[in-house]
Amino acid sequence: MRNLIRSEVLKTRSTQVWLWMILPAAALTALSTIGQTYGSIYDNEHGGAAIRYYDIFTTANGGGVALLVIGILGLTTEFRHKTITPTLLAIPGRWTLLVGKAISYAIFAFFYAVICIVVNFAIAIPWLDAKGIPVEFGHGVPGGVVKAFLALLMTALFGLGLGALVRNQAAAMVIGIFYFAIISNLLSVIPWVRHWIYPWSPGGALDAFISNGTIRNTADDVHRLAPLNGGLLFLVWTLVLLGAGGYFSLNRDIS
Amino acid sequence: MTAPPGGTSAVRGRIVVDRLTKVFGTQRAVDELSFTVEPGSVTGFLGPNGAGKTTTLRMLLGLIEPTSGTATINGVRYASLPAPLEAVGAALEASSFHPAHTGLQHLRIYCAAAGLPARRADEVLDLVGLRDAAKKKTKGYSMGMRQRLGLASTLLGDPRVLILDEPANGLDPEGIRWLRGFFRHLAGEGRTVLVSSHQLAEVQEVADRVVILNRGRLVRSGTMAELSAGTSTAVVRGPNLHPLQQALVAAGLTGSTEADGSLRVQTDDLRHIGQLAFQHGVELHELSLSRFDLEQLFFSLTEGAHQGSDLGAYTPNGHAPAHERTRQP
């Protein structure tokens, strides 16, 4: 397994993709942080609302789409460039390969997640400070940061599973990004669906995991599972995708 | 004394394909195929397009799951080999490279996967003559360079068995000559080389044995000596060959008279014919030997595939269809 992880790390480091993917991860986190911090400060200054520290410091998860893409690349690149053949000649055990990839991509995601959190802090803390707003890490913020970190890791693995199931790289990208950017948001607003389907969907589970456990806007009638349950459900979705990808796709003939 | 695991197929470097079958939908791509490749030999794996060569090689390497039958190397399935790259080197496609990787990076990735030292990548690049292109991205490689890189990757683990699918494609004449010497060198070291190819003249030059497929079935296998036995023909031309023809019959030699009046005698002993011609005062304009031609054999065995006719109905020289004569039990 150590050899496989070394090989995967080398495989990724040997291209510039890992470097270029830092840009969207950092940019998406920066945009989310700017939006959340600006909105919170605006509400505070104009309506006297309390600063939403929890929301500000969990927007590192905004880089999730980049982590999803990195995960998708993990296996689809092998199929796209036909390197799956020499890879399977070196590592004939397909489940071993999948587990090795999952560990490797969790390691990559760790570094990206650190970058996202650093970007979040680097924008929000000086901004709040400049406005004379005390930076407080109460309000469940430490737990929220940890959850945002774990959510990024799991999102990368979710992408890996999606890429194992949908071997076509372009199709996997479109499905993954379209789902998290549009479909999931739609599910969260459609009556009945938002009560009975959205909370159990991957997007709803991830949303619940990142939330601070309260239904913030009751007017929106948003329904979520409890954060821990949401995290566990998203983990189950990730494992189901990896398992299904391993079973249906990786076990197919490589011709 | 106890038999090794896998029985007789467990000999190091031996490839055993036993009643291997693969069905895709309604099509039997490989049909009850059986053959053995012995260590220390170069075996040509031949067949027209769609004959099932690549499917067979992929089943042998665990990339395609057989419908039935087994394919083993060293007595076990590929997936069960403890260190696969150190047992088998395989190159199936000339384009299995990430375009952004250099040749050296490509090889180092698989060195890492197999737990081999990174310097092995440099060594095999030297062996295949790609040292100068080691740090060039593979997207800039010519087909010949890709073939050489594929060959380099097969050598990473210094394996006893090499399985190569069309390795001569894209090579220039110099590259083909190099490849020929390379195969002989590998076989000389006692390695098993199984090579599928369309370049029949090249296969005839280097192979000790051939396995010929058509429509997923074995139509002929054997050593080159076995295949060529009794196939050499002496070609005799002259203004009046009648006295010689009678002398040849009297000497027990068989043959035929061609439309142009020349004789074709089934023998490789030209000296004997020359002596008979001299003794009978026959003037000769040509006395030459037409040697065994693998290409001719290949086309006779696979004619159905090329002409779209039924192979089973093809009976060269009035014999039974080739695959019926030569099917292994």
Minimum-distance CB partner of A82 among B55, B90, B95: B95
What is the SS3 assignment for B60? helix
Put simply, whether B151 touches A (Cβ < 8 Å) is no
CB spacing of A11 vs B63 below 8 angstroms: no
Q: How far is Cα B207 from Cα B195, in angstroms, rounded to an integer?
A: 9
Q: Tell me the chain B residues in contact with residue A81 when contact means C-beta distances shorter than 8 Å.
A: 96-99
Q: Contact B114/A82, CB-based, under 8 Å? A: no
pTM of the model: 0.77
Please tell me if the domain spanning B7-227 has the same topology as the one spanning B232-290.
Answer: no
d(CA A26, CA A60): 9
Cβ–Cβ under 8 Å, residues A51 and B77: no
Q: Does B118 touch chain A (CB under 8 A)?
A: no
d(CA B193, CA B44): 8
- Best residue of A89, A95, A104, A169 to probe chain B, by most B CBs closer than 10 Å: A89
Using alpha carbons, select from B314, B298, B293 the residue that is nearest to residue B49. Answer: B298
Q: Which helix (H) or strand (E) holds A234?
A: helix A227-244
Q: Which stretches in chain B have pLDDT values below 70?
A: 1-11, 94, 229-231, 292, 300-301, 303-329
B55 within 8 A of B33, measured Cβ to Cβ = no
- Residue-range domain boundaries for chain B: 7-227, 232-290
Closest residue to B62, CB basis, from A16, A17, A92: A92
Spell out which residues of chain B touch residue A75, defining contact as CB-CB under 8 Å.
none
Is B99's CB within 8 Å of A253's CB? no
Q: What is the strand order of the sheet B286-290 is part of? A: B255-257, B263-265, B233-237, B286-290
Give CA–CA dist B274/B287, Å, rounded.
8
Structural fold of domain B232-290? Alpha-Beta Plaits (3.30.70)
Which phi and psi angles does B94 have, rounded to 5°?
Answer: -90, 10
Complex confidence, ipTM:
0.78
For domain B7-227, which CATH number applies: 3.40.50.300, 3.40.720.10, 1.10.10.10, 3.30.200.20? 3.40.50.300
What tokens were used for B176?
Answer: 């083909």
Mean pLDDT per block of 10 residues along chain A (255 residues) reads 85 82 89 90 82 84 86 89 89 88 91 92 90 81 89 93 90 92 84 82 88 59 75 93 85 80
- pLDDT score of A218: 45
B96 touching A (Cβ < 8 Å) = yes
